[in-house]
Amino acid sequence: MSYVPNQQIKHPRPHSPLVFDTRTLGRQPGTARSETRIVPAPVDLRVAMACVPSGADIKLTVLLEAVSEGVLVTAEATAPVTGECARCLEPTVSSVEVAFRELYEPEGSPALAGDDSDRRFLQGELLDLEPAFRDAVVLALPLAPLCRPDCAGLCVECGVRLADAGPEHGHDRPLDPRWARLDQLDLGTERQGGTRAANGQEG
């Protein structure tokens, strides 16, 4: 399944862990409600070499605030990340922390001049946080994760992991036969002999 930024679910499921019912918040500007949930990771939170495993526990803290334009959401999340080292291809395990803020306008809000693709809307009284959450997490995933900061990568000759091979690992390359004759010549001596011969001719 391909990842599409800002893709919104038209009819969110009320009991989905990333859907919030705003009826208890009310619409009086200044009212607020905070909540912390452990939610399962949605599918396809990934980039080329790292991902949040589907169904993994994610700690999510949200603050919902009623404002004149709708509901302002301030959220923080911590998610586990697995991946592949960009240098040696060994498995990596880490975590990512994200924080984001989004305004959700009431359903049926008038269109504005320009591009509306970045606007988010309530679905009746329901606030579906998944599209904004997905955007924030995917953008925070490492594009080139490392198993350790000083990972030496793989040997370009045989592909062995250099951290396992040790400092003595190396390869003696066979001499290219096209250069074998040059290796037998003492070019420094020949240059000196040629210089003496030229000087003798001038004299």
* 95 contacts 81 by C-beta, under 8 angstroms: yes
Please tell me the predicted confidence (pLDDT) of residue 166.
Answer: 79
Between residues 99 and 179, the one the model is more confident about? 99
N-to-C CA span, the chain: 86
pLDDT digits (tens, 9 = 90+) for 153-173: 998 888 898 888 877 788 776
pLDDT digits (tens, 9 = 90+) for 30-69: 999 999 999 999 999 999 999 999 999 999 999 999 999 9
The residue type of 155 is: C
Number of domains present in the structure of the chain: 2
pLDDT digits (tens, 9 = 90+) for 86-96: 999 999 999 99
Please tell me the predicted confidence (pLDDT) of residue 164.
Answer: 86
Q: How far apart, in whole angstroms, are the C-alpha atoms of residue 31 and residue 129? A: 19
Q: Would residue 173 count as lying in a domain?
A: yes
Same domain flag for 43 and 114: yes
Q: How far apart, in whole angstroms, are the C-alpha atoms of residue 171 and residue 11? A: 62
pLDDT digits (tens, 9 = 90+) for 99-122: 999 999 998 877 765 556 788 999
Is residue 192 over pLDDT 60?
no
Please tell me the predicted confidence (pLDDT) of residue 26.
Answer: 86
Same domain flag for 96 and 40: yes
Average pLDDT, the chain: 84
Q: What are the residues facing 117 on neighbouring strands?
A: none
- Unique residue bearing structure tokens 């606030």: 127
Same domain flag for 125 and 183: no
Is residue 5 over pLDDT 60?
no
Please tell me the predicted confidence (pLDDT) of residue 27.
Answer: 84
Q: Would residue 9 count as lying in a domain?
A: no
Q: How far apart, in whole angstroms, are the C-alpha atoms of residue 126 and residue 71? A: 11
Is residue 195 over pLDDT 60?
no
User: Could you tell me the residue range of the domain that residue 115 belongs to?
Assistant: 19-140
Q: Would residue 136 count as lying in a domain?
A: yes
Same domain flag for 134 and 167: no
